[in-house]
Structure 1
Amino acid sequence: MLADGAGGTGIWSGIINFDHYGELLGLVQNSLFAGVLLGLVGGLAGVFVVMRDLPFAVHGISELSFAGASAALLAGVNVVAGSIAGSLIAAGAIGLLGVRARDRNAVIGIIMPFGLGLGVLFLSLYKGRAANKFGILTGQIIAVSTPETAWLLGTSLVVLLALAVVWRPLTFASVDPEVAAARGVPVRALSLGFMLVLGLAVALCVQIVGALLVLSLLVTPAAAAARITVSPLLLPVLSVVFALCAMEGGILLSLGGIVPVSPYVTTIAFALYLGCRVVAARRTARTTRARAPGSPREAVRPHT
Structure 2
Amino acid sequence: MMAPALPVMAADPLPSGTKNLDFTFTTIDGEQLSSQANGRPKLLVFYKVNCLNCQNTLKSISESDLIQNNDVYAFACSSYNDSNAKTDDASISTFKTTYCSSAGDKIKFAQGDFLSKASSYNQTAGSSSTSMTTPLIAMIDADNNLCFVTQGQILADKLVSDYLPALQSSSNSGSSQKPSSSSSSSKGDSKKDTSKPSCDHVAETVVVNDATSSDDAVSAYQCVKCGALLRYEAVPNSAYATFLANTANTILNAQQGEVTINTNIWTSFNRAVFDAIKSRPDVAITVNYYYKGSPYVLHIPAGTNVDSLMDENGFGGFLYIQHVINTSK
Question: Into which bin does the TM-score normalised by the smaller protein fall?
Answer: under 0.3
Which structure is higher in helix share?
1
Q: TM-score of the superposition, structure 2-length normalised?
A: 0.23
Which structure is higher in strand share?
2
Larger Rg: 2
Q: TM-score of the superposition, structure 1-length normalised?
A: 0.25
Structure number with the bigger relative contact order (C-alpha 8 A, sep ≥ 6) is 1
